[in-house]
Amino acid sequence: MANHNTKDQAISQFVATQVPYYQNQFAKIGAQSGFAWTFNLAAGILGPIWFAARGLWQWALTFLLIETFAWVQIVRGMFGDLASDAWVRIGQIEGTLDLRRQQLASAIESQSDKIDVYKRTVASLENAIGGIRLEAQALEQTGLWIVVGGVLLMLLTKYTQSVIANSALEKRFSEWLSDSGLAAGLPLARVTTAILFVFTITFATVVHYSFPNSIAVLSEFPTQPEIRLTAIDWVEQFFSFSVSHGEVFFDFIALCIRLLLDGLELIFVQTPWLVVGAFIALLTWLSAGPTAAIYGIAFLGYMGLLGFWEKAMTTLALLGTAACLSIIIGIPLGMYCARRERFYAFIRPIMDFMQTMPAFVFMIPVIAFFGTGKPAAVVTTMIFGGTPVVRLTVLGLRGVPEHVREAAIAFGGSKWYLLSRVDLPLASPSIRAGINQTIMLSLAMVVVASLIGAKGLGEDVLEALQYANVGQGILAGFAILFCAMILDRIVQGERK
């Protein structure tokens, strides 16, 4: 009895109104294992307002969309001009028809040889107007059926709301019992918000679709061109200031990138192809086994026989520079963020921006700071492909079981021992996956980087796009694919 009274008190606190009704309904729902049929008249009448006021916003938004559509159909069928677009088209064609009639009259007066042409044009336009007029009349006659369809949809929606309301509220009550932070009762602020939100959405949508252009602000956002011009001016001033005062800093970064890039190009491009090919094949065999090594040799043979060897090695040098810098920066940064939640929360939006912003957008400031050429291509590739290694390093280190770390600490392990012998080995699969994703995303930027002066296979693909050279583009694309597959097997090899 005590538990029953406690539950009744909790229901009373949760629902705030019609307590006996909801106590009976919740008891009925709880007594059945499946869906319990109940009927809540208030929920059916108020609709989305009832669900929103009760905090069931997921249901409120769903029913709001359906009810708004039903209201649009009802109001548009009763009062809207269903044939407005057709009459506008008729008006446009009539303007053209008047012009052609004048031309026909002039041709008849001057006995021109274009009389038959103008007659056919006039007849065609008159037939078009007649067809559109019939279409407009047919649309006007469909108003009653649109209203009927809207009313039926509205009644069905109201019935559905009434049937599922108590079950949805009882489920939220169960969640509220275990999480007191969920809103309960009917606070005035939530009720007012629900009413204003539902009324605003419904009114604006119904007016816009049923009476087009009656309220200008609903059809077009009130844009102020001066704001855009001012913002453009501010952005240009910022970049001008940054370029003029940070020239030494950006030149230093470009020099470091150039040194690493020149070194890798010397290794991949200048070294005899036999040495590079043997080294890649051996590395693939050691990492992924003999089968992967055979495929790697075949891929290298494809690139060599079709004349893509030098450009493929240039691509690997460019990719290697961007990937090496991303990994050198990303893994320590991920290690630092793994134990510092606030700092990671600070840089996470920055990484989201780097991954979601289109490459052609952040190429603009990169070109402003570094100019065109290979350093700018490396920076662009790092921006696009550098974040996965940070995210997956953080994920891997945070996934290390805490009891393993506690055991290492209990046996006297230092911070360095804990990092090098416990955290990094256990997090290595995730870190390797991050390295792999960074390399793959960097390789995806090969074609884009060629737009700003990067050489390599992307240049052939870009040229094929410019001149619609399908064969060259497909062959170069396969070469890029094979480079990606070789690198993937090396980084994510089955052997440990």
Most confident of 70-84, 152-166, 236-250: 152-166
The closest alpha carbon to 23, from 2, 51, 4, belongs to: 4
**Secondary structure (DSSP) of 356-392:** HS-HHHHHHHHHHHH-SSHHHHHHHHHHHHSHHHHHH
What is the pLDDT at residue 85?
A: 65
pLDDT confidence tier of residue 161, bands split at 50, 70 and 90: very high
The tens digit of pLDDT for each residue in 371-390 reads: 878 888 888 888 888 888 89
Residue 234 is assigned to a structural domain of this protein = no
Say which residues have a Cβ less than 8 Å from residue 331's Cβ, sequence separation at least 6: 389, 390, 393, 431, 434
**One domain for residues 272 and 384:** yes
Whether residues 439 and 291 fall in one domain = yes
In terms of domains, do 254 and 171 share one? no
Q: Are residues 340 and 294 in the same domain?
A: yes
- Both 21 and 169 in a single domain? yes
Mean pLDDT of 165-193: 84
Distance from C-alpha of 393 to C-alpha of 337, rounded to nearest angstrom: 9
The domain spanning residue 453 has which CATH number? 1.10.3720.10
> For position 48, what pLDDT does the model report?
93
Over residues 339-346, the mean pLDDT reads 88
Of 94, 115, 141, which residue constitutes the final position of a domain? 141
Count of other CB atoms within 10 angstroms of residue 472:
16
pLDDT of residue 495: 47
Regarding whether 119 and 73 lie in a shared domain, the answer is no
| pLDDT tens, position by position, 15-64 | 888 888 888 888 888 877 777 888 999 999 999 999 999 888 899 999 99
Q: Which domain holds residue 169?
A: 2-81+144-219
Is 230 among the domain residues? Answer: no
Are residues 115 and 102 located together in one domain of the fold?
A: yes
Taking the C-alpha atoms of residue 316 and residue 308, their distance in angstroms, rounded to an integer, is 12
Distance CA 6, CA 394 (A): 45
Count up the domains in the chain and report the number.
3
Are 175 and 51 contained in the same domain?
yes
pLDDT digits 0-9 by tens, 28-40: 888 777 778 889 9
Q: Clarify whether residues 188 and 205 are in a common domain.
A: yes
> Helix, strand, or coil here: 467?
helix
State residue 76's pLDDT score.
79
Looking at residue 49, its amino acid is I
| Least confident among 90-104, 184-198, 222-236, 462-476 | 90-104
At residue 137 the predicted structure's pLDDT band, cuts being 50, 70 and 90, is low
pLDDT attached to residue 83: 59
pLDDT above 90 (res 420): no
pLDDT at res. 70: 92
Q: Is the residue at 403 inside a domain?
A: yes
- Give me the helix-helix angle, 247-265 and 225-245, nearest 10°: 70
Q: Give yes or no: residues 28 and 44 share one domain.
A: yes
Together in a domain, 50 and 74: yes
How many other C-beta atoms can be found within 10 angstroms of the C-beta atom of residue 61?
15
Residue 132 CA to residue 123 CA, distance in Å, equals: 14
Distance CA 391, CA 100 (A): 67
